[in-house]
Copies of this chain bind each other. A is one copy, B any other.
Amino acid sequence: MTGDVINFADKFDLIDDRWKPRVIAEMNDYQFKLAKIEGEFVWHDHEDTDEAFIVIDGELRIELRDGHVDLSAGEMYVVPRGVEHRPVTDGVVHLMLIEPRGTVNTGVEGGEMTADNDVWI
């Protein structure tokens, strides 16, 4: 057999922390990651890649320097490469990220919210 079916709810059950993306699958050199996020992240950008956000549960605001977008469950948004953004939530959001392997959550900015990369669940 050639890999497992991945159930998002089962994977989210394994996550207790916030803002630490876990890899659940790879497609070529891209990774699918899940994270529980809550509160305010740091402003950052990814200079080499776009970044896709899919909200699985909850309400997510992505602040942009020229405005913001609001996402609910069943919605997605792609932040273009080099565009500064900051995710902000009121409660816990179950988030899927799709981006190239090696993409760091805080992009080029780094800092204390930088999570270990390539951690699988």
Contacts and interface: CB of A to CB of B under 8 A. Distances in A.
Interface in A25-41: 25-28, 30, 32
A76 B2 contact: no
Give the number of copies in the complex.
Answer: 2
Given A1-B64, A5-B69, A64-B2, A50 B27 contact: yes
A25 B98 CA distance: 12
A74 B26 CA distance: 17
B49 A6 contact: no
A75 interface: yes
A9 B87 CA distance: 23
B8 A74 contact: yes
B76 A8 contact: yes
Contacts of A6: 75-77
Contacts of A56: 74
A119 interface: no
A27 B28 CA distance: 14
A65 to B, nearest CB: 10
A85 to B, nearest CB: 9
